[in-house]
Structure 1
């Protein structure tokens, strides 16, 4: 079973697997652990990863990146508009039906539209293929990382993308939680069980965002508090500062505007990223030079770190505010922090490390791999969830980033109400049981409590219709229990609903004040959730214990004591009739969910589309491989005909074959540029008709001498054996004459064949077909050895060993003989007396 963790970044991805007792980050086909998050759509296939990034400047309009920022968002979303305007996407982003975000590109010779989820599925397919090649097994179960600020709709979009890529996503894991898990497993200096918990701050500065979290480690438990991060505060924002600076400088200096040329803008972005990395390691001015940038003009610029930090002051202030907010929300002091771990590709910027020291009063720690920590944490989580792996127990508790409010309406009541069921930073995964009193079906609406805090304009999480609700037989409201949950993916859902139905009436009616519909007391209001039951942790059972407002049942033990006491009372005295409670049963209610995101039918259609694209990629790869095989054969044979193959073909044959190779080369770059796979296979077969005999003669000439030498050596060994037999060597004295004659006959036959074939081959020219093949010579050697070696190596028979003598049996035989002699002597004496039996007393048996 595969155990894979995927770190899906805005510009780069990492794949980690659990194998060999540890977690390793695997490399792609370019021997690079980092796979760029690029997709390039072409006329015949798709290029993904490194191959797609290499086409960023040659296939500009059809090379897609940064699509992670578009997941689940509407076209009118401010972040989508910022991606289009501020970060200058070379590909086209348009509005689809119902304000959906759609990417438009040319694929298979026509303009097609793709949702961001489809494009993400393409990238996941590439990462899946990388993991399968590294593990040499099929990848199905994965844990995928997402930013901690991802909302419910964005998480659902990522889950849908995993489905399209035929991946079973066991969990969507927050980046900071994944890093915390990797830190907790690998670090050896975490507190033992007898010490208090240690607080570790994790700062993840990625290419598009900065995330900060406080993790508490205590006795194999991990509790994470992640504050609301800035979704547009990462490495590319620092790059954007440099891009804008040089665009404005070169407008004046060279009279060119890179905003008007997407290809030039991409080249400038790439060079600014390199410049930023160089300035992180140097304080002096660093030059930036780009040849033929625009209008055949070469551009030049210079910048140092101090100036760069001055231009990035606003970004650094936002990061500092984020650090301070963590201290404010967590309500801990800097003295309570054990260490500060920095990860992420952009965490190497010196000014960010200085801010860590300034705010947290501690030097930043870099014990984890800054680039691979997230993927390794995801792989560890996948191993924990997998039943086939034994991993150190580690309980993980994350937090809810945004507060969730649940409102309800309908159900036979005129008024509506609402309540906040999951406040901000509430532990997750977590379940709550809500109790309602309703006569009719009703609807629950979930939304984020504070829309201004959510970095998305879709604050509604969905609506849930609780159906089949009806009043009791006596017309009273039914008790309905609804279980809501924020699962381990960080997504809100209504898990189940049930109605408590009375099946037997009470013998005495209950007080009217307890069951009337008009009662509007604080304890029993039909217009609000009466009770709330909680379940904490993903594996703990639901603790269905209602609060003080719920009905309380009499314990069975007390009831038995009461019955016993009543039995002891005076029998003549009549006891009052005890009130019996009604019998009830729980009836499951259907819950109809209406949540934002792709429908099941649409996801199935996209799965089919993705499978078709995978098949097209495979067919195109096979076609290209067949074409490359023809091209490789042409170049290889042309070089060898003038080299090692020159003596193995006649001049006329060589000239004709060279002509055929030239014609094939011209065909490849003309009408053979785009042909079917079978056409290339037929063309290669035609070339091999002329080339294979030449190659075969050369190969035979290389292998034949060695094969003859090996056969000659085997014949020599058999001759030495026959000479030893003729010399009456004691070593072979046990062999029978028939075996020796068999060896002699085989030796004579093989020696005759060897001499004949050697003489025939020596008479031939190199360009003539050989009289004997190396394989035939090796087969003859094998036949000689299989016939002669068993006889030559036949061991001498071992001498027979005499069985050990049994002294007791010998003694009994001697006694018997002695008794027989005495009996004969007695008969000869004629005295008519008999001797005692040989089986006499023990003292007569003397050794």
Structure 2
């Protein structure tokens, strides 16, 4: 199972993977860990990531960025209109079916419209491809990050985008929570469970937003206490300050207006982003120079950090207000803050760092990698959720950024609403609500109108509980409804059950308890309160029974058995249907196939072009002597011949041909060119092949010579075998001399008589025939067994003398010139032919 985390940002994306050695942020095909969130649509294919960003000037009308801002939003949404008005959109944003925001571009020769979900799915596919190349395996399960301010509809839109891309999103995770997980999992000095929790503030200033979170850490526990955000306070807003300044300056100085020319505006935007980064580490004036900016005019300007901070006073003040707000929401003082961790690319702005010390009273910490912390946290979360990885136990409790209200129909009371999940309520979390109804009823979830959320529509969804019938007595039936904010931060109704009680005189069964999803013992208390609350103005049976027990019991002998009947729920939420998802998945797969076909076509065309240039260079250098006169006149000259004609064809009629046409053209060129290349290649490898065969022949001749000279080393080899070696030697030697002489009489431009592969084959045949005979081992001879000397009843003088005489007649190892010097055992002298001689 793959363990992958995606930090999907507005301007850039990062991919992290969990491996046995830890968490690693991986690079894309450009060896860059940062993949720009750009999609460029063309006449034949799509470009994604770095290649798309490179086209943002040349193909600006069809290159889309910042499409994350349109996820799940309607065109009429004020935030969408503000995005179009305040930030340059060189591409066209229009209203489509259902008032959705669509990006209108030219693709495959037609005007086509794409939603934010579709464009997000394209980028997710790109990130999936990057991770699959690194892991060498298929990627399906992922954890994807989103800003903390994302509402229910935006989170559902991200889940839809993952499904379009063929990904199973295990969790949609808040950016700040992912960063907090990175911090907590690697910190070894966290307080123990019985100690006071450590409170850490996470400041995430990215390209388009500022996000804040207050997180409490214990050993092995992470709990998000409160969050705050400013969706329109990020790096691009500081860039916009510089852009507006230089537009006004160039109007006065050069009489040109960059707003009227999108290409010029995009170039200025890119240069201002670079200038902002340079000012983060320099205090002196920094120049800004752009050649041929507009109307063939070169422009120049200067900016100093102090001047920049004066221009950005409003942004800095907004950031300070956000810092003060998070302290107020969490009800903490600066003394309660252990540290402030800063992440996000724009957190490097010095004025923002100074604000941290001013408001929180501590120096900003850079323990985490500002760019990669979120991706690493997502990968860690994926590893925790994966059954194949063992990760140090770590409990993660996130919080709901907005309160959630619930309205129901069919009640008799005046107030049919309640706050089911307060602001900053922990998630994931479930609650059980009890209703009394005789017929189906509807539940509507929504955000309070007095709360500022990121979208215009405050509705979350409506849910109809069906197939409710009265009791046998005609009274209202008891219905239990389980509501939940799940792992993604999405509100849903998990189940609805009709409670039917049956009288039973026999041995009674206890009432079947409903499953309550709580994350800890502390979490169960609010669930019980929610279940026993007077949702419809009537007390529940549990309360009545408790009251009777307090009064001394009811005195009834019969007990009741509870039967739970599941009820169907009809959900209407702002999420794609199965049919819509399947259609978009099919369209995405078609675009992937089109990209693949275009890539193969381009590779085939490049192969032809590369062959033309390569052969033209080599024919004037290393291949010059290997061409015939006919080939030079037909193929190798520059003007009006095959190579020149092919080059002209590539940039004229052959510009947009099918892949097979290029394959055929390359084959046609190789009919003439490949023999020349082969002659050169053979000339490089043939001498060594001849040399190796000659050495092999020389070695075998030496063997035959030694054998004929009665060399003791080869006396054990049969004469018939040696004759076999002689025969093979003569055949190969004649072949060698014949081919060597014939080849030596040819010119370089003539086709060789013999190939290097044939020479190597002859050598192998010679070696396989002769080597087993030449290396045949001598038969081993067992030494004779030693006889025990006869017993002598005398003093042993005779035997000693005989023994001494025997010692003199048997030569020692040192005395025998034919003995093996390594053998320390006595060697018999007869028969001499059977001695093992080295």
Give TM class, smaller chain. 0.7 to 0.9
What is aligned with 1:619? Answer: 597
Q: Distance in 1 between matches of 2:371 and 2:8?
A: 12
Deviation at 1:476, TM superposition (A): 1.4
Change (3 A) 1:665 1:429: same
What is aligned with 2:803? Answer: none
Change (3 A) 1:264 1:538: farther
Q: Does 1:759 align with 2:761?
A: no
What is aligned with 1:380? Answer: 380
Write out aligned runs for 1:599-638 (5 A).
599-638=577-616
What is aligned with 2:265? Answer: 265
Alignment deviations for residues 713-756 of structure 1 (CA, whole Å, 9 cap, x no partner): 22233333334434444444443334333333332222222222
Deviation at 1:760, TM superposition (A): 1.4
What is aligned with 2:481? Answer: 482
**2:663 paired residue among 677, 681, 693:** 681
Alignment deviations for residues 381-437 of structure 1 (CA, whole Å, 9 cap, x no partner): 1111112222222111111110101111126x4755111111111111111111111
What is aligned with 1:42? Answer: 42
**1:703 paired residue among 657, 669, 685:** 685
**2:561 paired residue among 570, 583, 608:** 583
Deviation at 1:116, TM superposition (A): 1.0
Write out aligned runs for 1:139-218 (5 A).
139-192=139-192, 195-218=195-218
What is aligned with 1:823? Answer: none
Deviation at 1:541, TM superposition (A): 12
What is aligned with 2:452? Answer: 453
**1:642 paired residue among 613, 620, 624:** 620
What is aligned with 1:810? Answer: none
Q: Does 1:443 align with 2:421?
A: no
| Structure 1 contact 148–226 (Cα < 8 Å) conserved | no
- TM-score, normalized by length of structure 1? 0.86
Q: Does 1:778 align with 2:741?
A: no
What is aligned with 1:75? Answer: 75
Change (3 A) 1:343 1:731: farther
Alignment deviations for residues 465-489 of structure 1 (CA, whole Å, 9 cap, x no partner): 0001111111111111111111111
Q: Distance in 1 between matches of 2:671 and 2:126?
A: 39
Alignment deviations for residues 568-594 of structure 1 (CA, whole Å, 9 cap, x no partner): xxxxxxxx9843133331000001100
Deviation at 1:295, TM superposition (A): 1.8
Q: Distance in 2 between matches of 1:797 and 1:639?
A: 63
| Structure 1 contact 176–226 (Cα < 8 Å) conserved | no
| Structure 1 contact 432–532 (Cα < 8 Å) conserved | no
Change (3 A) 1:468 1:263: same
Deviation at 1:657, TM superposition (A): 0.5
| Structure 1 contact 118–164 (Cα < 8 Å) conserved | yes
Deviation at 1:199, TM superposition (A): 2.1
RMSD: 2.7
What is aligned with 1:819? Answer: none
Name the count of aligned residue pairs.
764
Deviation at 1:289, TM superposition (A): 1.5
Write out aligned runs for 1:56-67 (5 A).
56-67=56-67
What is aligned with 2:517? Answer: 535
Change (3 A) 1:760 1:533: closer
What is aligned with 1:841? Answer: none
| Structure 1 contact 11–65 (Cα < 8 Å) conserved | yes
| Structure 1 contact 487–538 (Cα < 8 Å) conserved | no
| Structure 1 contact 647–767 (Cα < 8 Å) conserved | yes
Change (3 A) 1:414 1:185: closer
Q: Distance in 2 between matches of 1:388 and 1:803?
A: 67
SS in 1 for 2:431: strand
Change (3 A) 1:226 1:628: farther
- TM-score, normalized by length of structure 2? 0.87
Q: Distance in 2 between matches of 1:323 and 1:717?
A: 88
Change (3 A) 1:266 1:732: same
| Structure 1 contact 191–197 (Cα < 8 Å) conserved | yes
| Structure 2 contact 209–234 (Cα < 8 Å) conserved | yes
| Structure 1 contact 408–416 (Cα < 8 Å) conserved | no
Unpaired segments ≥5 residues, structure 2 = 507-512, 534-538, 788-838
| Structure 1 contact 640–646 (Cα < 8 Å) conserved | yes
**84-93 vs 445-454, which moves further:** 445-454
| Structure 1 contact 438–480 (Cα < 8 Å) conserved | yes
Change (3 A) 1:74 1:779: same
| Structure 1 contact 488–538 (Cα < 8 Å) conserved | no
Q: Distance in 1 between matches of 2:677 and 2:169?
A: 52
Q: Distance in 2 between matches of 1:743 and 1:82?
A: 93
SS in 1 for 2:58: coil
